[in-house]
């Protein structure tokens, strides 16, 4: 059976070109802190990778780029590192209601330790309520964290407008661009971003590397003291394979972004128009301001987990945003934030396309979704 992978937001394969490029660093590499040739080769690989990241996001220079171990780590350093460093200027932090948990949880942790944490609501499409942002932000708000685009509903936020409001009133804007990078152009200078998070794996790079961009002049401190690597902000021996691979992945993503995004938009829009023809089936997120590879839906009367398992029987891998945590079985905070009721949020399906997907797969996907939804609704105790 042909397998169709439609869950690129959860995990992406390493691009074979990236693997080929970075493989020598997996097999044979010194410690970049060592002065002999072997070590210096490793250091050189990191610095070359930094230049490629600068190029992807139009950063001012290489010094603005810190390699970390993941997007989660970058988010934590950005939020906690600025909150603690600027404690004398205020103890307030702010995020949108639909941030990734790796943004929300560090903020909640700060709240437990005496900071004020506020969350900004979004509209039914997932767009930040700018008037609420204006009302809530104060001179004491050290860091405001708003994602470039949401991983569950694909909505792209108006970052330039957000930046203006944040800089009129508050201090730093942190942007989690994990879902957006490599799909839509990001220009940290034009967008007015102070801190930006990227993830290697979300660019078809190896797992085990992330980036935190830090605009020159931003005051930030380490949250994990150690050997002082990466400007003292991310101590620990560098993962050269992942870092070198991430740079190459960023270069490929930048070169191919225009053509690849156009190609994926065609597949995405066909999927959206076909799938939403079904009864009581709705697109979640914004129709136009959405990521090129992202199509997310909700179906009344059925559960996301059952959709996922049924689709898997067709060899098609999708995600469901319905249960953020299988431990709590709570519906996704993102879907609740866009105004869905609990029972509505449970029936969600998220498709994130990638390089392996082709337009000729659409028919098979749509057929599988149709059959799945009809079968599950027949069994649903929610339909009287």
**Rule CB under 6 A: which residues touch ligand PMP?**
9, 70-72, 100, 102, 147, 151, 176, 178-179, 199, 201-202
The rounded distance, in Å, linking the Cα atoms of 65 and 150 is: 23
- Are 102 and 153 in contact, with CB atoms under 8 Å apart? no
Q: Which is nearer to ligand PMP, 70 or 320 (CB)?
A: 70
**In the complex, what is the shortest distance from the CB of residue 101 to ligand PMP, in angstroms, rounded to a whole number?**
8
The rounded distance, in Å, linking the Cα atoms of 186 and 350 is: 24
Q: Which is nearer to ligand PMP, 242 or 368 (CB)?
A: 242
Q: Which is nearer to ligand PMP, 91 or 234 (CB)?
A: 234
The rounded distance, in Å, linking the Cα atoms of 150 and 145 is: 13
Q: Which is nearer to ligand PMP, 201 or 357 (CB)?
A: 201
**In the complex, what is the shortest distance from the CB of residue 379 to ligand PMP, in angstroms, rounded to a whole number?**
32
- Indicate the helix (H) or strand (E) that contains 243: helix 240-275
Which residue in this structure is represented by tokens 């559960």?
A: 303
Q: How far is CA 138 from CA 80, 117, 130, 145, 172, in A?
A: 18, 12, 14, 14, 12
Q: How many CB atoms lie within 10 A of CB 257?
A: 17
Which residue in this structure is represented by tokens 């009367």?
A: 301
The rounded distance, in Å, linking the Cα atoms of 305 and 307 is: 5
**In the complex, what is the shortest distance from the CB of residue 309 to ligand PMP, in angstroms, rounded to a whole number?**
22
The rounded distance, in Å, linking the Cα atoms of 206 and 244 is: 9
The rounded distance, in Å, linking the Cα atoms of 261 and 244 is: 24
Catalytic residue ranges = 324
**In the complex, what is the shortest distance from the CB of residue 367 to ligand PMP, in angstroms, rounded to a whole number?**
29
- Are 246 and 203 in contact, with CB atoms under 8 Å apart? yes
Q: Which is nearer to ligand PMP, 179 or 275 (CB)?
A: 179
- Are 120 and 132 in contact, with CB atoms under 8 Å apart? yes
Q: Which of 155, 184, 159 is nearest to 174 (CA)?
A: 159
**In the complex, what is the shortest distance from the CB of residue 89 to ligand PMP, in angstroms, rounded to a whole number?**
27
**In the complex, what is the shortest distance from the CB of residue 199 to ligand PMP, in angstroms, rounded to a whole number?**
5
Q: Which is nearer to ligand PMP, 68 or 86 (CB)?
A: 68
Q: Which of 154, 152, 384, 369 is nearest to 277 (CA)?
A: 369
């Amino acid at each position: 059976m042909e397998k169709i992978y439609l869950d690129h937001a959860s995990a992406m394969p390493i691009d074979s070109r990236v693997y080929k490029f970075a493989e020598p660093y997996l097999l044979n590499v010194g410690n970049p802190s060592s002065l002999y040739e072997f070590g210096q080769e490793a250091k050189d690989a990191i610095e070359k990778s930094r230049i490629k990241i600068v190029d992807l996001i139009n950063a001012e220079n290489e010094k603005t780029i810190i390699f970390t171990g993941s997007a989660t780590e970058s988010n934590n350093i950005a939020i906690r590192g600025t909150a603690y460093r600027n404690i004398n200027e205020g103890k307030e932090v702010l995020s949108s209601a639909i941030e990734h948990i790796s943004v929300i949880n560090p903020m909640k942790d700060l709240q437990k330790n005496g900071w004020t944490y506020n969350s900004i609501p979004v509209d039914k499409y997932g767009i930040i309520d700018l008037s609420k942002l204006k009302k809530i932000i104060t001179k004491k708000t050290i860091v405001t964290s708003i994602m470039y685009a949401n991983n569950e509903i694909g909505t792209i936020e108006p970052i330039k407008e957000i930046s203006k409001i944040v800089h009129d009133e508050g201090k730093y804007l942190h942007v989690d661009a994990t879902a957006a990078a490599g799909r839509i152009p990001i220009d940290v200078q034009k967008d007015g971003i102070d801190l930006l998070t990227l993830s290697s794996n979300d660019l078809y790079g190896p797992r085990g590397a992330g980036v935190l961009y830090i605009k020159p002049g931003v005051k930030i401190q380490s949250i994990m003291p150690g050997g002082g690597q990466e400007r003292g902000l991310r101590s620990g021996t560098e993962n050269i394979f992942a870092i070198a691979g991430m740079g190459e992945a960023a270069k490929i993503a930048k070169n191919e972004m225009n053509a690849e995004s156009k190609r994926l938009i065609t597949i995405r829009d066909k999927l959206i128009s076909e799938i939403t023809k079904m009864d009581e089936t709705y697109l979640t997120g914004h129709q136009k301001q959405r990521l090129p590879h992202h199509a997310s839906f909700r179906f009344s009367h059925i559960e996301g987990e059952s959709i996922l398992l049924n689709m898997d029987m067709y060899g098609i891998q999708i995600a469901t945003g319905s249960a953020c945590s299988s431990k709590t079985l709570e519906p996704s905070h993102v879907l609740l934030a866009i105004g869905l009721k609990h029972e509505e949020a449970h029936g969600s399906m998220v498709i994130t396309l990638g390089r392996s997907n082709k337009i000729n797969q659409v028919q098979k996907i749509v057929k599988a979704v149709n059959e799945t939804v009809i079968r599950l609704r027949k069994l649903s105790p929610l339909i009287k």
